[in-house]
């Protein structure tokens, strides 16, 4: 019957892709703008990259622009990234450009997939694989299982590098600290935490601090900002896009 074939096709394809992602070069937790840019450039560089998003849709807070008004702002220095992905923008004043937030979010997702990044939604990273004082993979579960707080054991995916791209919440780094009593590559050895709004400084810190925070574990985008104590930046997205590209270039060389 046709219903059986429909189900068979869905199951077969999903598990083929999941099995292919059991070992890869980079696993990125979180599917926001910095994650998608990193995934795009890593895949273009020939790296095997898997992005895991716990929600149904990817793009993080990009979709809502500023306070639900469907436009975001970027600076001139990140226009080459938008050009690479065919995302349109309009010059406003000084070095500021407006971007339709819906086109931005959908464009980032589409381009990351087309470049070869494997993306799974509805999967949560609940723990890390840690061996010889190095992060070597992630422990995942289905988001609905996590939300329902069901006692169901997770499974693992292995990689050469893991990236925390969970934004303000910094979920993966927090798990590492809570469970293992280790020190981070921050001034205090701990998560410093996000400070109040300063868009210019926030973007600066986000880009500068993008990188390895513990052997095998990297931070990107707002996760980097929160980890190293930068201020929040609001609906200006250039720093997050540049952060993603910087991480991709760094990992492409290391790997």
Question: 50, 61, 165: which is closest to 104 by C-alpha?
Answer: 61
The pTM for the full model equals: 0.97
Mean pLDDT of the chain: 96
CA distances (Å), origin 56, targets 52, 65, 79, 152, 223: 11, 19, 28, 20, 20
Phi, psi of 233 (to 5 degrees): -120, -10
Residue 13 in tokens: 């394809």
Q: Is the torsion defined by CA of 65, 67, 70, 76 positive or negative?
A: negative
Beta strand 71-75 pairing with 96-100: antiparallel
pLDDT of res. 83: 98
pLDDT tens figures, 51-87 = 999 999 999 999 999 999 999 999 999 999 999 999 9
pLDDT tens figures, 23-49 = 999 999 999 999 999 999 999 999 999
* pLDDT band at 158; cut points 50, 70, 90: very high
CB 47 within 8 A of CB 26: yes
Beta strand 49-53 pairing with 118-121: parallel
List helix spans (H) across 116-157: 143-147
3-state secondary structure at position 157: strand
Which domains does the chain possess?
2-254 (3.50.50.60)
Q: Is 29 exposed, middle or buried (0-12, 13-18, 19+ CB in 10 A)?
A: buried
CB 135 within 8 A of CB 129: yes
* pLDDT band at 1; cut points 50, 70, 90: confident
């Amino acid at each position: 019957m046709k219903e059986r074939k429909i189900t068979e096709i869905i199951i077969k394809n999903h598990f083929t892709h999941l099995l292919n992602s059991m070992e890869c070069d980079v696993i990125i937790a979180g599917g926001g703008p910095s994650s998608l840019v990193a995934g795009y450039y890593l895949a273009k560089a020939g790296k095997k990259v898997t992005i895991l998003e716990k929600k149904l849709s990817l793009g993080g807070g990009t979709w809502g622009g500023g306070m639900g008004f469907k436009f975001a702002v970027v600076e001139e220095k990140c226009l080459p990234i938008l050009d690479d992905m065919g995302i349109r923008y309009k010059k406003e004043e000084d070095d500021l450009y407006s971007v339709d937030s819906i086109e931005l979010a959908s464009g980032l997702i589409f381009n990351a997939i087309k470049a070869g990044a494997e993306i799974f939604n509805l999967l949560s990273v609940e723990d890390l694989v840690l061996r010889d004082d190095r992060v070597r993979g992630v422990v995942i579960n289905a988001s609905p299982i996590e939300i329902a707080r069901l006692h169901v054991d997770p499974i693992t995916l292995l990689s050469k590098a893991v990236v925390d791209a969970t934004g303000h919440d910094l979920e993966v780094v927090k798990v590492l600290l809570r469970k293992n009593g280790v020190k981070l590559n921050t001034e205090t050895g701990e998560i410093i935490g996000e400070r109040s709004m300063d868009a210019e400084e926030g973007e600066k810190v986000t880009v500068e601090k993008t990188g390895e925070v513990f052997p095998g574990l990297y931070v990107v985008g707002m996760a980097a900002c929160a980890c190293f104590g930068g201020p929040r930046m609001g609906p200006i997205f250039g720093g997050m896009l540049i952060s993603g590209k910087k991480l991709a270039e760094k990992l492409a060389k290391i790997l």
